[in-house]
Amino acid sequence: MDGIIPLYKERGMTSFDCVSRLRKLLQTRKIGHSGTLDPAVDGVLPVCVGAATKVVDYLMQSGKQYQGELLIGEATNTEDLTGAIIAAQPVPQAIPAAKIKNQMAKMTGEITQIPPMYSAVKVNGKRLYEYARAGKTVKRPRRHVTIKQFELVSTDYDAQSKQQRVRFRVSCTKGTYVRTLVVDLAKQLGYPGTMSWLTRLKSGGFGIDQTLSLADVRDAVTAGTIKQYLYPLDYALKDYPAMELTTDQWHAVQNGGWLKANEVQPEDDQVVLKYHQAAKALYHHDQQFYKPTKMFLTK
Catalytic residues: 38
Query: How far is residue 39's CA from residue 47's CA, in Å, rounded to a whole number?
Result: 16
Indicate the DSSP class of residue 96. Answer: P
Query: How far is residue 39's CA from residue 16's CA, in Å, rounded to a whole number?
Result: 10
CB 64 within 8 A of CB 202: yes
Indicate the DSSP class of residue 266. Answer: S
Which residue in 45, 12, 18, 32 sits closest to 200, CA to CA? 45
Which residue in 175, 116, 187 sits closest to 147, CA to CA? 175
Query: How far is residue 56's CA from residue 73's CA, in Å, rounded to a whole number?
Result: 39
The SS3 call for residue 230 is coil
The SS3 call for residue 267 is coil
Query: How far is residue 282's CA from residue 296's CA, in Å, rounded to a whole number?
Result: 8
